[in-house]
Chain A
């Protein structure tokens, strides 16, 4: 019996194919696969080292009192940053409430109602422009629109700044999520006599929801860590907040303030605040994924 391998090579020879080149091709394949794996690990390095540093430096001060007490005065030790945690949650919440519904609804309009229309393309183009705007400009905008108008630095102004920042991300990722829903689902629904609204509400949105939520979470994560828009708008506060219309502490601004002072304890607290920020974002992310993941 002939060796089947030699026979295969004979076949190649008949077709004018040099079988030694085959070895070169499969070697190239392995080389590039290895390169991809190596570079994937390389991409993990910055992420892992950030996490390592934040956990290592932030963990010592992490405790329950962090969430229940107010920041220490300059040079003092002890205390926490409960007001900053609340401030961040509140301002991201305001931002989300202001940008989520219009962002998702605009994406629905663009995708489902008038995909090739003029208003749709203007909206899409504007959203793309907005993603490129530096976050500090959002802060200046909210400063002009809210702070100057009301005469006060406030968490409301901070929330508006974050909302402007989140809007384009939510709009564009929701659009992608809706585009990802198969045409066959829409046709099936229309074919059964559903209206456009019913098709969107019962078929398209549930199908796109996990991807939409991923986009919303991306926006939330980014907004939670933004300092620049808040410096202009919410400023900072050493105290518990009592209304929406007063300067309000936030984790991002606290990290910024405490990391540049010459007191060791404050710097340590900035690390802890970073850790809390990372944990908060991760927790919201995981919860959202659990709640909105596909049931089937």
Chain B
């Protein structure tokens, strides 16, 4: 496996964390005093939170509340838009995302992303999965094959596509395409996997499969998921953050947020009284 071109410390492999340290005890991503602007429009206000390692953290809140904006800052995808700026800082494993020594392309290998609408390339299933390795110059067929199988198995898609790896990815069903995008994202072996409403375009069966997959993936990856679906947040997340009007209203364990929220607005939202 080629390493990301970065000097960031590699994450401990799954299951090899030092004895006595439970996964999730130390934050992998820390957000401090974070403000974010699209031009003059402030989308995030003074957000501060810690995302624990190898857990699933869900961001919930009504549309336009800033949850996706925060998510897309974790791999600096927002910078593809003109006229954005931020104040405050976000750190990954203790290091600022805007550290000049950390190349954005290296960051995006460490922090992978699955989008709301599945977006496989108009290439074969195989080429989709190994894309991130090819762009790093990996040509060794055996390594690519191995990465493809590992990632497709990781995304619970291997059995369905192993006989047609070299057919177009655009012939897959919607749910399969989204799992392919997950396979493509984990082929990098990122530390963090960002998911922006990954199930919003899927039917209930495909949604259930992806949710099951999320609980499998958290053994190896830290997952941050944006969702509009309260049940989904309760079913598959360990931590939940509730955003409203660009502010982080409440952040805590999912059990606490959904059973005894400290904020009135959180309670109103999760019980469906607004939003």
Tell me which residues across on chain B come within 8 A of A191, comparing CB atoms.
75, 77, 108, 112-113, 115, 185
Complex Cα distance A182/B119, Å?
A: 9
Given the contacts A184-B115, A187-B77, A202-B135, A192 and B122 also touching, CB distance less than 8 Å: no
Tell me which residues across on chain B come within 8 A of A206, comparing CB atoms.
122
CB–CB B122/A296 < 8 A: yes
CB–CB A193/B108 < 8 A: yes
Complex Cα distance A193/B192, Å?
A: 13
Minimum Cβ distance to chain B for residue A107 (Å):
19
- A128 an interface residue at 8 Å Cβ cutoff? no
Interface residues of B in 51-102 (CB under 8 A from A): 75, 77, 80, 82
- B42 an interface residue at 8 Å Cβ cutoff? no
Complex Cα distance A113/B208, Å?
A: 40
Q: How large is the interface on A (under 10, 10 to 19, 20 to 34, 35 or more residues)?
A: 20 to 34
CB closest chain-B residue, reference A198: B135
CB–CB A203/B121 < 8 A: yes
CB closest chain-A residue, reference B118: A184
CB–CB B112/A188 < 8 A: no
Minimum Cβ distance to chain B for residue A70 (Å):
49
Complex Cα distance A195/B80, Å?
A: 12
Tell me which residues across on chain B come within 8 A of A198, comparing CB atoms.
135
CB–CB B108/A190 < 8 A: yes
CB–CB A188/B121 < 8 A: yes
CB–CB A190/B80 < 8 A: yes
Minimum Cβ distance to chain B for residue A293 (Å):
12
Given the contacts A193-B188, A202-B135, A296-B122, A187 and B80 also touching, CB distance less than 8 Å: yes
CB–CB B113/A193 < 8 A: no
Complex Cα distance A191/B4, Å?
A: 14
CB–CB B115/A194 < 8 A: no
CB–CB B77/A192 < 8 A: no
Cβ proximity bits A257-283 to B, threshold 8 Å, 1 near / 0 not: 000000000000000000000000000
Complex Cα distance A191/B120, Å?
A: 12
Query: By DSSP majority rule, is chain A's interface helix, strand, loop, or mixed?
Result: helix
CB–CB B80/A192 < 8 A: no
CB–CB B80/A193 < 8 A: no
CB–CB B132/A192 < 8 A: yes
Interface residues of A in 175-194 (CB under 8 A from B): 182, 184-194
Complex Cα distance A87/B210, Å?
A: 62
Minimum Cβ distance to chain B for residue A171 (Å):
23
CB–CB B112/A192 < 8 A: yes
- B179 an interface residue at 8 Å Cβ cutoff? no
CB–CB B135/A188 < 8 A: no
CB–CB A116/B185 < 8 A: no
Complex Cα distance A186/B115, Å?
A: 12
- B165 an interface residue at 8 Å Cβ cutoff? no
- B105 an interface residue at 8 Å Cβ cutoff? yes
- A294 an interface residue at 8 Å Cβ cutoff? yes
Minimum Cβ distance to chain B for residue A162 (Å):
33
- A207 an interface residue at 8 Å Cβ cutoff? yes
CB–CB A192/B109 < 8 A: yes
- B117 an interface residue at 8 Å Cβ cutoff? yes
CB–CB A193/B135 < 8 A: yes
Sample of 17 more A-B contacts, CB < 8 Å, known A116-B82, A193-B136, A207-B122:
A184-B119, A187-B80, A187-B119, A188-B115, A189-B121, A190-B108, A191-B75, A191-B108, A192-B109, A192-B112, A192-B184, A192-B185, A192-B188, A193-B106, A193-B107, A193-B109, A193-B188
A-B contact pairs, 5 of them (CB 8 A): A185-B121, A189-B121, A193-B4, A296-B122, A296-B170
- Sorted from nearest, which 10 A-B pairs have the closest CB atoms? A184-B119, A193-B109, A296-B168, A191-B113, A193-B108, A192-B132, A188-B119, A193-B105, A198-B135, A194-B135
